[in-house]
Amino acid sequence: MRFVGGIRTEATEGRLFFVSKGQSLAIERRDGAPHVPVGRAPVGAIFLGTIGDEAYFAADASEGPELEIISLRHLFGALHDEEFAVAQRALGLVAWDQDHRHCGRCGAPTERSQTERSRVCTKCGFGVYPRISPAVIMLVEREGKALLARSHRFPVPFFSALAGFVELGETLEETVVREVHEEAGITVTNVRYFGSQPWPLGGSLMVGFNCDWAAGEIVLEDAELAEADWFAPNALPVVPPKLSIARALIDDFVARHAG
Please report the DSSP string for 43-61 in residue order.
TTPEEEEEETTEEEEEEEG
pLDDT band (50, 70, 90) for residue 223: confident
Mean pLDDT for 195-204 is: 79
pLDDT band (50, 70, 90) for residue 259: low
Mean pLDDT for 136-144 is: 97
User: Has residue 201 got a pLDDT over 80?
Assistant: no
User: Has residue 161 got a pLDDT over 70?
Assistant: yes
Tell me the domains of the chain and their CATH numbers: 3-99 (3.90.79.20), 100-130 (no CATH), 133-256 (3.90.79.10)
Query: What number of other Cβ atoms are within 10 A of residue 246's Cβ?
Result: 25
Tell me the per-residue pLDDT of 6-51, one tens digit each, with 9 for 90 and over.
998 999 999 999 998 768 999 999 888 899 999 999 999 999 999 9
pLDDT band (50, 70, 90) for residue 82: confident
Residue 129 phi/psi, 5° resolution? -105, 155
- pLDDT mean across residues, the chain: 91
Quick one: pLDDT at residue 249? 98
Quick one: pLDDT at residue 51? 93
DSSP code at position 79 = B
pLDDT band (50, 70, 90) for residue 84: confident
User: Has residue 105 got a pLDDT over 80?
Assistant: yes
User: Has residue 120 got a pLDDT over 90?
Assistant: yes
Quick one: pLDDT at residue 221? 73
Q: What is the dihedral of CA 185, 189, 195, 200, to 10 degrees?
A: 30
Tell me the per-residue pLDDT of 227-254, one tens digit each, with 9 for 90 and over.
999 999 999 999 988 878 999 999 999 9
Quick one: pLDDT at residue 228? 94
Query: What number of other Cβ atoms are within 10 A of residue 222's Cβ?
Result: 8
Mean pLDDT for 160-175 is: 96
